Amino acid sequence: VFLVFDAPKNTLKRWFALFSCLFCLGFAAAQIRTFSVSRPKIKIRSGVVSITAAVDETREAPAKDARLVLKDVRIGGYADWKTPEKLLLTLPAAYKVPSKGDVISARARLAAPRPPETLDGFDYARSLYFQKIGATGKIVEKPEILRRSARFYPRQVINKRIDAVLPADTGGVAKALVTGGSSNVPERVAQAYRDAGIAHVLSVSGLHMSLLAGLAFAGARTGLAFFPRVALYYDTKKIAAVCALILCLSYLFVSGASVPARRAFVMIAFALTAVLLNRRALSVASVAWAAFFLLLFRPESLLSVGFQLSFSAVAALICAAEAGVDRYVRLSAKKESVRFYLLSCFAGVCLTTIVASAATAPFTLFHFSRLPVHALIGNLLSSAVTGFWVMPALTAATLLMPFDLEKPLLVFAGHGIDLINRAALFTANLPHAVAVFPPMPFWGLSAATFGGLWLCLWRGKVRLWGVLPFCLALASPFLAQKPDAVVTKTAVFVRNERGDLSPVENCPYGFCRVAANGSFIDFARNKTGAFDACAKEGLSAVFIGVRFDEPCKTARVFSSRSIEKAGAFYVYSGKDGPEIKPAGEGFRPWSTAYPAVSPSAELSAPFKSRGDGISAKIER
């Protein structure tokens, strides 16, 4: 009403009304998305049940149990309207992993997705909720394949071709670069990439998409130049842009369309469209539009690590480029030489590493509480090999797979990947390669986001004010209050003399006692410990890790059910006794007790069959 009747009279009011409208529409889009993915979920741990389902996704890891995402699920003893749409099951390494699309029959134990175990940290239940996964579990017997899939899945074919040529260390990295399967990388290699500051190589993002677009654009334009009639009468630049866009779209689907890959594709699409329209290719506006389209259709991606790291890095890089591009153009016009070009490339790698590392540092600290110190060395050793050796060879090998000519190029790419692996291991083994920090509070992440946006969006010297909240965010891990103890269902962690949380090993009589600022808290591991802890007086709280129904003399008692529901409890020192905070606080749509609210799950529930799922499957 304000927008329609009053805002047109005043420019300031018009902008305020437009901002308010978009602000409300953003929350409305998030709410619509949240309820649209609501599906039935398992609320309590089950025994062994029979399951028939189709394999929707396989997540394999070397020498580890695989994980299967199942769809079209039928569970014995569960009515159809109570059955989750998807399941995430762990398959023991001793069993063969079925292919995507196979219909299998298995016996498994199911449980509700576990709640978060850190305050303001990653919420596993929320992540599964937006994937429409209603239960997790473990397969206890060898699954039986009822029907093989007849569909063609390019990702599986490409992965099998790579496995047939390359060993695990290099093959896992090759699959991560081509099909986005970072879980295929051995843990030792993946950890070396993280400690060396080059973990972005294993995630399909702007690096891979821009390299592919550049190779496709340059290759198409060079190839068209061999045809004089085409080169003289047609705009080969725009034809090459269309070819690059088509190839990037294909790469997006083959790589699994992760959040960083979607962001990179939207930005590449904007850049190539700008070439078609004779406009400027890269700007902060393209970053804003990429974020707009992603958040419009997937608003939950705002809370993901990939979204935050990807957008913070690319926004900082574009803002830094806009700030220094004019000076570089003037300087390059005066000094045209091979030496200047090589020094420019070296300086470019150094500056992009420094800018991207600084922009992503607060988000890395918030989610992982650790920073790679030698990221500059790792990127200097790996960037050229990735851009000029590995990615072109893998691109050509993938394009030649339909003709069975990929083997020489895969071997050639494998040698380059082996060099990157060695560089990562070398950098990760340097002294003080990783700096470990205390957990960053949420207000620290908010200050970093505000400071970063201030630096990027403003012009002139006023932008430098954004450095203050950004530096405050980096110091926030040392300013925030630290917990004295953390209690989970199976263990209790206490802060030691160095300030770290370490598990309590010695628990005589089945319970552990924790002192917090003059108050005492007991954690009972078994029923004997629970009887002893509940019989004592003067305790501030008692945590019971097993099922126990007897009364306690302590006023504050946390049962095993409440611990399992909260994920973990954090104990802080307070003026009036210990302050206890649950990690999984709040009644959210992904909480176990929250009902499914989608029309397909609730409104049609009384009209659906209540028969046994296995029998219905056999009858069909």
pLDDT of residue 606: 47
* Domains in the chain: boundaries: 2-36, 159-340+382-433, 443-479, 485-577
Name the least confident of 53-67, 80-94, 126-140. Answer: 53-67
Lowest mean pLDDT among 73-82, 474-483, 554-563: 554-563
Work out the average pLDDT over 374-380.
89
What pLDDT score was predicted for residue 461? 84
Average pLDDT over residues 15-44: 88
Q: Which band of pLDDT confidence, cut at 50, 70 and 90, is reported for residue 599?
A: very low
Distance CA 591, CA 74 (A): 23
Residue 585 confidence (pLDDT): 65
Instruction: Specify the pairing of strand 86-91 against strand 133-139.
Output: parallel
User: How far is the C-alpha of 29 from the C-alpha of 41, rounded, in Å?
Assistant: 23
Q: What is the pLDDT of residue 616?
A: 36
Helix or strand or coil: residue 374?
coil
The answer to whether the CB of 355 falls within 8 A of the CB of 317 is: yes
- Measure the CA–CA gap between 432 and 72, rounded to whole angstroms: 49
Given a cut of 90, whether residue 16 has pLDDT beyond it is no
Q: Which pLDDT score is estimated for 323?
A: 76
Max Cα–Cα distance, the chain, nearest Å: 94
Place of tokens 């060993």: 167
- How far is it, in rounded angstroms, from Cα 95 to Cα 118? 33
Q: What is the pLDDT of residues 578-588, one digit of tens each?
A: 888 888 766 78
Q: Is it the case that residue 109 has pLDDT exceeding 50? A: yes
Instruction: Give pLDDT, residue 597.
Output: 58
607 — pLDDT class (breaks 50, 70, 90): very low
Query: Which two tokens mark 536?
Result: 């004592």
Query: Could you tell me if 536 and 553 are in contact, meaning their C-beta atoms sit under 8 angstroms apart?
Result: yes
Contacts of 118 (CB under 8 A, 6+ apart): 439, 568, 583
Could you count the other beta carbons within 10 Å of the beta carbon of residue 292?
A: 13
CA atoms 283, 284, 285, 286: torsion sign: positive
Q: What is the pLDDT of residues 453-478, one digit of tens each?
A: 998 888 888 888 999 999 999 899 98
| Distance from C-alpha of 81 to C-alpha of 46, rounded to nearest angstrom | 17
**Alpha-carbon gap, residue 325 to 344, rounded angstroms:** 12
Of the pLDDT bands very low, low, confident and very high (cuts 50, 70, 90), residue 451 is very high
| Alpha carbon distance 173, 186 (integer Å) | 9
Judged against a pLDDT cut of 90, whether residue 105 lies above it is answered with yes
HEC readout, 5-55: HCHHHCHHHHHHHHHHHHHHHHHHHHHHHHHHCCCCCCCCCCCEEEEEEEE
